[in-house]
Amino acid sequence: MTSESPTSDECLLCRPELADAHFSRTRLWEDEHWRLSAVLQGPIAGFAHLEPRRHIPFITDLDGAEAASLGVVLAQAAKALRTAARAEKTYIYVFGDHVPHLHFNLAPHREGDALRGGPGLLEPNAVEVGLSAHRAVADAARRAMAGGAE
């Protein structure tokens, strides 16, 4: 990681339409501070990113309304994804070496899927989940975040 973070003009996540296209994401929900998007590829249906709308490089840079609302929003998003994916739990993790804009990775997990705890997070040779499974979970989570029926 470099010592300097890009400005919001250079940050991919500050341009959500470009980020959605780059990561093959669909927007599930947003408010004035946060945005939740589901990735529509890979072995985990419902894998999503929760990110602040404002350019914030690291969790230690949170303040004000983003800091005050983080716990509620993160819990709501994790529950919506867990329910939508019919998962046992939702893993939440933060890295940040590749995209220097704070984002939480949320990954619904069911016993026997490609996720695993510890190094690697995904099983070797994990099989890609089909687009229809990704879309079904994304649509259900979008409804849940909007307060709709599950």
The full set of domain ranges for the chain reads 12-114+124-145
pLDDT (tens, 9 = 90+) of the chain, 150 residues, equals 344 556 667 899 999 999 999 999 999 999 999 999 999 999 999 999 999 999 999 998 999 999 999 999 999 999 999 999 999 999 999 987 788 899 999 999 998 899 877 667 777 888 999 999 999 999 999 999 998 655
Superfamily of domain 12-114+124-145: HIT-like (3.30.428.10)
- With beta carbons less than 8 A apart as the criterion, state whether 39 and 134 touch: yes
Global pTM? 0.81
